[in-house]
Amino acid sequence: MSKYNYTPKKLIRLLSENGFLFVRQNGSHAIFKNFQTNRKVIVPIHSSDIPKGTAGAILKDAGIDLIDTKV
């Protein structure tokens, strides 16, 4: 198991804590936007964990450093 194990719920909470707001949902993907930085990220909403690479890419697009996060 990887060090960073993200469920969609954990990832959404982390985004919300960093100023991202839910904008809309299209199928099984939720779109979040930070209106201060004007960044937009898409989070897959599935019952299983989000793969490490996908979660890392979402956090990178959001401008969130993995070292600063408490999961």
Q: Are 39 and 63 in contact (CB under 8 A)?
A: yes
Task: Please report whether residue 16 resides in a domain.
Answer: yes
Report pLDDT for 1.
Answer: 39
pLDDT along the chain (71 residues), means of 10: 75 95 97 97 94 92 77 53
- Supply the pLDDT for residue 66: 73
- 3-class DSSP assignment, residue 27: coil
Q: What CATH number is associated with residue 15? A: 3.30.920.30
Q: In 3D, which of 64, 66, 3 has the Cα closest to residue 32?
A: 64
Domain residues for the domain of 36 are 8-65
* pTM check: above 0.75: yes
Distance CA 2, CA 29 (A): 23
